[in-house]
Amino acid sequence: MSSEMNLTGKITTIERHILDEQSYHPGATGALTSLLYDLALAGKIIASQTTRAGLAEILGETGGFNVQGEAVKKLDVFADQTIFRLNDHTGRLAVMASEEHEGILDIPKQYPIGKYVLLFDPLDGSSNIDYNVSIGTIFSIYARKTKEGPGTLEDCLQKGSDLVAAGYLIYGSSTMLVYTTGHGVHGFTLDPGVGEFFLSHPHIRIPEPPKYYSVNQGYQKYWSEGVQRYTRYLQGRDGNSQGLSLRYIGSLVADFHRNLLSGGVFYYPADTKDPSKPHGKLRLLYEAAPLAFIAKHAGGYASDGRRPILDLEPSSLHQRVPLFIGNRNLVEKAEEFIRQYDG
Ligand code: P6P
């Protein structure tokens, strides 16, 4: 089915859609439904700030730095606190983890413990906030592995193939929420006038043929031979392929979203630019894995250049991973070039 906006069908709110999804999970107690609803609510609250960041004195930096050593924007902190405070007391979660915090986030002792785990990047692309570029929130939901008591780091370090649900919000020309529980990928557009997310992109499938490739070509000299040759292939410079157009926003959610709807490949490969980041810049747990889960259920694929992202066993909360994601055949082509030229 095309990923064009569906404006003629029945009016479906995200609450109705999530409730209908619950029927796919016979054992569902409604906790996942409520958790997804709470994330939609967080998106509305964050969107209300991002669209007037310039006016609400929420622009600019806090002066602090996060675990990644990146300057923390006031909006980062706002988004992080909003998601945590909406979810810490609901009794649906055993533990959380956020890009903005070094360690896991315990559920406060006065609140009940639930059976799900929420990992999130509260505001990805925040370095673009000051330039009015689209930014986003990315989330992963797992079932806890430990049996009782407060959730642990082990509950957070799960493979992407064990995800229960994943999604993102994109705060751009409109605010959208895209999510999957493994039964199709569905997009909802926020009508700020009524404060509702309405189903606008049901059953998203990554279109063929692909239109774009998305990579920061400014780092080309730091890439491996295989990635350099792969990029020439995508540009149609090896005579065997039709060149693609380059689109790179520098905001992962925006770059991924465009390729999801138009067809294409995004990649942030390993590079030698920063010895402290030999595996590239993007994080596995709350960036690559949830987007890989979405790509899979939209007919696409995601790899670290050698293995499926969803098969990778995480070893730490903030570990970085090279990411190639989008149309399956383009990602598999990347693996082919890397296998052939990088050994
Ligand atoms: P570069 C934004 O800071 C981010 O984490 C992702 O959203 C984006 O894909 C990437 O960094 C861009 O990194 O090195 O190309 O500026």
Output phi, psi for 38, to 5 deg.
-65, -35
Nearest-atom number in ligand 1 for the CA of 251 is 7
Q: What distance in angstroms lies between residue 34's CA and the mean position of ligand 1's atoms?
A: 31
Residue nearest to atom 16 of ligand 1 (CA): 250
Q: What distance in angstroms lies between residue 138's CA and the mean position of ligand 1's atoms?
A: 14
Coil/strand/helix, residue 275:
coil
Cross-strand bridge partners of residue 170: 136, 176
Instruction: Determine the pLDDT at residue 1.
Output: 42
Q: Which of 136, 85, 94 is nearest to 118 (CA)?
A: 94
Residue nearest to atom 5 of ligand 1 (CA): 125
Instruction: Determine the pLDDT at residue 120.
Output: 98
Nearest-atom number in ligand 1 for the CA of 135 is 7
Q: Which of 282, 279, 142, 266 is nearest to 206 (CA)?
A: 266
Q: What distance in angstroms lies between residue 12's CA and the mean position of ligand 1's atoms?
A: 34
Instruction: Determine the pLDDT at residue 240.
Output: 73
Between CA 265 and CA 165 the distance in angstroms is 22
Residue nearest to atom 1 of ligand 1 (CA): 250
Nearest-atom number in ligand 1 for the CA of 282 is 5
0.75 cut: is pTM over it? yes
Coil/strand/helix, residue 141:
strand
Residue 90 corresponds to which amino acid?
T
Pocket of ligand 1 (CB under 6 A): 124-125, 127, 216, 250-252, 255, 268, 281
Nearest-atom number in ligand 1 for the CA of 218 is 15
Q: Which of 135, 130, 133 is nearest to 59 (CA)?
A: 130
Instruction: Determine the pLDDT at residue 63.
Output: 65
Instruction: Determine the pLDDT at residue 2.
Output: 47
Cis bond leading into 269, ω under 30°?
no
CA dihedral sign of residues 42, 45, 47, 50: negative
Q: Which of 74, 20, 23, 14 is nearest to 41 (CA)?
A: 14
Q: What distance in angstroms lies between residue 126's CA and the mean position of ligand 1's atoms?
A: 9
Q: What distance in angstroms lies between residue 228's CA and the mean position of ligand 1's atoms?
A: 19
Dihedral, 310, 20, 43, 155 alpha carbons, nearest 10: -40
Per-residue model confidence as pLDDT tens for the chain (343 residues): 445 555 566 788 988 888 888 777 777 778 888 999 999 999 999 998 887 655 555 555 666 766 666 666 688 899 999 999 999 999 999 999 999 999 999 999 999 999 999 999 999 988 887 788 999 999 999 999 999 999 999 999 999 999 999 999 999 989 999 999 999 999 999 998 999 999 999 999 999 999 999 999 999 999 999 999 999 999 999 877 789 999 999 999 999 999 999 999 999 999 999 988 889 999 999 999 999 999 999 999 999 999 999 999 999 999 999 999 999 999 999 999 999 999 8
Nearest-atom number in ligand 1 for the CA of 124 is 7
Please count the CA atoms within 13 angstroms of the CA of 7 that sit on its side-chain side: 3
Instruction: Determine the pLDDT at residue 54.
Output: 52
Q: What distance in angstroms lies between residue 76's CA and the mean position of ligand 1's atoms?
A: 15
Say how many Å lie between the first and final Cα of the chain, rounded: 38
Residue nearest to atom 13 of ligand 1 (CA): 250
User: Which tokens is 178 given?
Assistant: 């895209």
- The residues, any chain, with a CB within 8 Å of residue 20's CB and separated by 6 or more, are none
Q: What distance in angstroms lies between residue 253's CA and the mean position of ligand 1's atoms?
A: 10
Between CA 266 and CA 289 the distance in angstroms is 14
Nearest-atom number in ligand 1 for the CA of 254 is 7
Q: Which of 133, 268, 279 maximizes ligand 1 atoms within 8 Å of its Cβ, making it the mutation to test the pocket? A: 268
Q: Which domains does the chain have, with CATH numbers?
A: 14-201 (3.30.540.10), 212-342 (3.40.190.80)
The H or E element spanning position 120 is strand 116-124
Q: What distance in angstroms lies between residue 131's CA and the mean position of ligand 1's atoms?
A: 14
Q: What distance in angstroms lies between residue 274's CA and the mean position of ligand 1's atoms?
A: 14
Residue nearest to atom 4 of ligand 1 (CA): 125
Between CA 148 and CA 35 the distance in angstroms is 19
Q: Which of 322, 320, 288, 325 is nearest to 69 (CA)?
A: 320
Instruction: Determine the pLDDT at residue 73.
Output: 66
Cis bond leading into 209, ω under 30°?
yes
Between CA 61 and CA 178 the distance in angstroms is 28
Q: What distance in angstroms lies between residue 7's CA and the mean position of ligand 1's atoms?
A: 33
